[in-house]
Structure 1
């Protein structure tokens, strides 16, 4: 099973806009190089997001008719390789970007993060306060933070 994060968005996620914001987050917040996020559409509602030459995640979206919350669009980001921290950070950056760009929340159904639901700007705040020398340490810090009672927790 691959690692997957979700964003529940108030409006339909625009994948090219999400890719632009993902580049900003990967560079400025996660500080993971100067690459661009390349978005390659596979179908109307799915794409592959690449960061550099070897890091990627698969992204798809569903409308409110198929969402857990019938008022929201859902964007899924599945990391390209299990156990690879940068792949997981890319998938996390994608859902954070969708949440920022489309008024949504980040959702972690598998319990890796401290909260099941978290506002994207709260997660960005946690990252900027972390003193993490590596992608792995950043993920460990995000996973070990105390629950703060985010939206819907």
Structure 2
């Protein structure tokens, strides 16, 4: 499929978490695990992308899908308990939202910038702007419902 044959309104911007390049992907091909045009890595592999100060804007700001960011720390018990549910949701909802994690110990300036006072905190971004947040751990089903309700996404329940 040639991108020039796809109406511009059907193309979604999806940033590569590996090389940070912006890519345009036809919405109907998201389920096909599109690859980055520059580095060849999967754009939506169903795994949360690890973000830091250098990569945050590139990934969150250059992705048209809702982006769910988990602000966490390795010493946080609820964060560790929620990690499997977050990864499960990332896999199940990979065509609906981009999932990312920010280690607040390694990226304290991001935690400060977004006023993170409790962890885990989940923040939902749309086109680079935070639209909603919730603090506290939640399971994969609750996370899918939250994304569906708050992100205006078509997230199917588990």
Higher RCO (Cα < 8 Å, 6 or more apart): 1
Q: Confirm or deny a common fold (TM above 0.5).
A: no
Q: Highest Rg: 1 or 2?
A: 2
Q: With structure 2 as the length reference, what TM-score do the two structures score? A: 0.28
